[in-house]
Every structure is written in structure tokens, then in C-alpha cells.
Amino acid sequence: MEPKAKTRKNQNKRETEVWELRLYVAGQTPKSVTAFSNLKRICEEHLTGKYHIEIVDLLENPKLAAGDQIIAVPTLVRKLPPPIRKIIGDLSNEERVLVGLDLIPREKI
């Protein structure tokens, strides 16, 4: 994994930092499988090589549902770079995913 870039007023910062994405699912269901494959594809295309996906299965870790305030499933959380962004659904609507992750400006919606 590439080392995380240090915080400085550097325009290259955005290009070098690694995105930490967490996908919350509840068991292996069609929605969760779809979400994961959509996520992988979008990340490969827009964040090549600088992303890290973590899958959290709430059925195995039910405490995290309350701890991380997850209601809808699937939920995708962008933990890094800050600020935290949260989107829900199986990620089929790519444009909305990109807006939700702040990869394209919001006015597009």
C-alpha cells in the first residue's frame, strides 16, 4: 500500500492520498453483491490504485450497526479523505455515487 501523504498545503495532496471506503452489508445478498461489484468498478475507474475497501458485515458485527449509526443497507461510508461522506443503496446509479463521494460536483444532480 502507498504511504499516506502528510498534511500540507500541497496541491498534489489530492492525487496521492488513499481513499478509505467502508461498505456495510447484512450478509451476502443480491444487493450486497451488486454493491460490492459496482464499488470495485467505480474505484478502479476513478481512484485507480489509491483506494482501500473494507467490508463490514453487520450480521457478524451487529454492535457496529448502533456504533456507526447504520440503518440502511448497503451503506457506503467514505472515511478518508475527510469529511466523512455517507451514501446508501447498491451503487447502481454511478453518477449519484460519484457526487456522493465528492468525485464530481453536486450541481450535476
List of residues contacting other proteins (CB under 8 A): 24, 26, 31, 34-35, 38, 58-59, 62-63, 65-66, 69-76, 86-93, 96-97, 99-100, 109
Minimum distance of other proteins from residue 26's CB (angstroms):
4
Give 40's contacts (C-beta < 8 A, 6+ positions apart).
Answer: 53
Minimum distance of other proteins from residue 61's CB (angstroms):
9
Separation of alpha carbons 77 and 22, rounded Å? 5
Residue number, 5 or 98, with CB nearest to other proteins: 98
Separation of alpha carbons 84 and 95, rounded Å? 19
Minimum distance of other proteins from residue 46's CB (angstroms):
14
Residue (of 91, 95, 101, 98) closest to 33 by Cα position: 91
Residue number, 9 or 106, with CB nearest to other proteins: 106
